[in-house]
Structure 1
Amino acid sequence: MLNTFRIISLIEGLSYLILLFIAMPIKYLGENPYPVKIVGMAHGVLFIFFAIALFITISKYKWDKGFGFQLFVYSLIPFGAIVIERKIKSL
């Protein structure tokens, strides 16, 4: 489950970066809202998968709830997936 969580975390983090740094500029600079609709929906679904995987991983490995909350907060910031990966590797 840990490897699954790590993969979901990285994919979700990548979708967030694509949304912020590719789709959003296309929307506002190129005046085309469709990339945000598509990438935004995909990112939303991936974020839900991330949250579920995080909950399952916290339960299975009996991580401290504070550590789980910290990982959740990191998922909300750009490049947070990199920090999450480092935190998990340091365990």
Structure 2
Amino acid sequence: MTNLFKFIAISEGISYLVLFANMLIVKALNPPLYKTLLFPIGMAHGVLFIGYVIVAFVITKRQNWNIKELFIVQLASLLPFGTFYIEKKFVKNV
């Protein structure tokens, strides 16, 4: 389950950055392409975000996280590059 969380954390972080790139770069350069890419990128990011939150709750006991650490892990999902930090610093291989 820990490997699944690591995979989801990295994938969610990448999808977040791709979503930002679509909003900031592609929208300025090619608005029709932006609209075409928005739904699939947004849907993938949404599914990965929900998976990250659910799997974080599931592995809380296995990782010996207290409430504060779980809150930090959940908060990191809202910040760009946050999930990369969590994957490196908080997730221990059990």
* Structure 1 match to 2:9: 9
Answer yes or no: is the 8 Å Cα contact 1:27–1:36 preserved in 2: no
Corresponding position: 1:69 with 2:66: no
Distance 1:86 1:63, change over 3 A: same
Match for 2:26: what amino acid?
A: I
The count of corresponding residues between Structure 1 and Structure 2 is 90
* Structure 1 match to 2:46: 44
Query: How well do the aligned residues superpose, as a CA RMSD in angstroms?
Result: 1.9
Distance 1:39 1:31, change over 3 A: same
Which structure carries more helix by proportion?
1
- Per-residue deviation at 1:26? 1.5
- In structure 2, stretches of 5+ residues that fail to align are none
- Could you state the TM-score of these two structures normalised by the residue count of structure 1? 0.85
List 4+ stretches of structure 1 deviating above 3 A: 59-62
Percent same amino acid at aligned positions? Answer: 38
Answer yes or no: is the 8 Å Cα contact 1:6–1:85 preserved in 2: yes
Q: Which has the higher contact order (CA 8 A, sep 6+)?
A: 2
- Per-residue deviation at 1:12? 0.7
- In structure 1, stretches of 5+ residues that fail to align are none
**Superposed CA offset, 1:32-91 (max 9, x none):** 212111100110011111111101011333310110110111111111122112222579
Match for 2:46: what amino acid?
A: G
- Could you state the TM-score of these two structures normalised by the residue count of structure 2? 0.83
